[in-house]
């Protein structure tokens, strides 16, 4: 809970700074900052690693921040480069969440989750098969110095990392960003 509060406090500070800059005629927006937060989170967490509570912002909160960022930026010009940056960061964040915390994708984007489920299930099936091969079906694997699943079971190199899953996520993100642009344009008028 403390990490979540810290994120929201940081957002409030950015909003206050943006409001002050707007009063002064500045053109800094919060959208690139939110995209930067998403990119830093993706690069800070190794692929396939389970998220730690103090390092990861849940997908639903990232999406909420992004919606608020678009709302706050209404009235300022929105460049295509910024939109592309947001799309790229969002795609990477959703793919990472699908790898490390599929439940967060199910909660935030249930339709996308249902489309990705075959890839998630295939990845988990491959991991289970790898475990069976390594331990020989013996649940009492006494070699405590290594964890064979961490060595052989990386979801990024199995089903979820393939092109079909990425294409599904890209289509979903394109739709989300198009809706955000409509809201952005509506608020500008």
Query: pLDDT value at position 27?
Result: 57
Q: Which two tokens stand for residue 163?
A: 């092109």
For the chain, what are the domain ranges?
2-188
| Per-residue pLDDT, 124 | 52
Q: What is the DSSP letter of 50?
A: P
Q: Are 103 and 130 in contact (CB under 8 A)?
A: no
Residue among 163, 35, 174, 52 at smallest CA distance from 101:
52
Residue 138 DSSP class: -
DSSP designation for 24:
T
Alpha-carbon torsion angle 169, 162, 114, 66, nearest 10: -20
For 69-88, give the DSSP string.
HHHHTTTS---HHHHHHHHH
What pLDDT, on a 0 to 100 scale, did the predictor assign at position 111? 94
Q: Which parts of the chain sit beneath pLDDT 50?
A: 128-135, 145-157, 159-160
pLDDT in tens, 133-157: 444 555 555 555 444 444 334 444 4
State the pTM of this model. Answer: 0.68
Measure the CA dihedral 108/119/55/70, to 10°. Answer: -40
Over residues 156-170, the pLDDT tens digits come to 445 445 688 899 999
């Amino acid at each position: 809970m403390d990490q979540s509060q810290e994120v929201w406090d940081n957002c409030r500070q950015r909003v206050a700074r943006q409001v002050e800059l707007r009063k002064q005629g500045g053109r800094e927006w919060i959208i690139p900052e939110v995209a930067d937060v998403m990119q830093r989170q993706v690069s800070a967490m190794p692929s396939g690693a389970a998220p730690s509570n103090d390092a990861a912002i849940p997908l639903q909160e990232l999406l909420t921040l992004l919606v608020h960022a678009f709302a706050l930026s209404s009235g300022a010009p929105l460049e295509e480069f910024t939109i592309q940056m947001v799309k790229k960061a969002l795609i990477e964040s959703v793919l990472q969440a699908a790898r490390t915390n599929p439940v967060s994708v199910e909660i935030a984007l249930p339709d996308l989750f249902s489309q990705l489920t075959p890839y998630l299930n295939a990845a988990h099936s491959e991991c289970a098969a790898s475990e069976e091969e390594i331990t020989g079906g013996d649940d009492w694997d006494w070699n405590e110095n290594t964890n064979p699943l961490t060595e052989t079971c990386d979801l990024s190199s199995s089903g979820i990392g393939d092109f079909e899953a990425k294409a599904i996520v890209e289509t979903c993100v394109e739709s989300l960003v198009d809706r955000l642009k409509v809201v952005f344009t509506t608020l500008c008028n």
